[in-house]
Amino acid sequence: MIIDTHCHLDDARYNDDLEEVINYARENGVEKFIIPGADPESLERAVEISEQHDAVWFAAGVHPYDSRNYDRAFLEKFTAHPKCVAIGECGLDYFRLPEGETETAAEKKLQKEVFTDQILLAKELKKPLIVHIRDANADSLELLEAYAGEEGGVLHCYNADESLLKLAAKNFYYGIGGVLTFKNARKLVNVYPKIPLERLVIETDAPYLTPHPHRGERNEPAYCTFVAQKMAELSDMPRSRMETLTTHNAERLFGLQ
């Protein structure tokens, strides 16, 4: 069995065939799914999907690109739901900063404030974090080391920065997805063996980051199998063992039954 620990099933691109997508995934051995809360406007849809499917859970959070829409009281309406297993997707993303020194500084400050508050919310609720980091490794590491609770979390779409490996000691896991299968993923392929086996989880980030050989198509949870195969090859173990290992890791991190 495989658990897709990060798939945006609430995305509009699944509106017409969500049941088929879930069924196809299960036919391919992907039997549990976590929807990260990235967009406050689609969070209710994520809850609805989780209530309709025993094998689907969700997280409540605000992506750094939506930092201006952050409302802790709004998130807290969802965190007590029995299917809410984490806080996120939250974090820092400096890839598209506004022009101008003052504007850039203001955007970074806002993102850090919103991220810090979500870290503290996760700590208060004793839930793990789902963390998004892009072009912001140093600041993200600093905030997580300073404020994260013992529940830890997962670094979604782990970006191969070796400094972030020290977070394994703080109960953080590393989400591995389709990027590992890309021909230009040399850095991640080289760093991958340094990740402790007990800290690996599988994700797709569907509908984004579709793995080889389906690049250019809409991603979906069934394609976890390509990620599992590549991970197994790099770890020199049978794919079945990698699937079992990552499933146990995900169940432990998110408290799935």
Q: How confident is the model at residue 39 (pLDDT cuts 50, 70, 90)?
A: confident
pTM (two decimals): 0.97
Q: How confident is the model at residue 41 (pLDDT cuts 50, 70, 90)?
A: confident
Q: In this model, does residue 257 exceed pLDDT 80?
A: no
176-226 confidence digits (pLDDT tens) = 999 999 999 999 999 999 999 999 999 999 999 999 999 999 999 999 999
Give the CA-trace dihedral at 164, 187, 247, 38, to 10 degrees. 70
Query: CATH assignment of 2-254?
Result: 3.20.20.140
Helices 101-125 & 137-147, crossing angle to 10 degrees?
30
DSSP for 41-98, written as a single string: GGHHHHHHHHHH-TTEEEEE---GGGGGG--HHHHHHHHTSTTEEEEEEEEEE-TTPP
What are the residue ranges spanned by the domains of the chain?
2-254
Q: What is the pLDDT of residue 74?
A: 94
128-179 confidence digits (pLDDT tens) = 999 999 999 999 999 999 999 999 999 999 999 999 999 999 999 999 999 9
Which tokens hold the place of 155? 């670094």
β-sheet bridge partners, residue 202? 176
Residue with tokens 């849809």: 45
Question: H or E element: which one contains 2?
Answer: strand 2-4
87-116 confidence digits (pLDDT tens) = 999 999 999 888 899 999 999 999 999 999
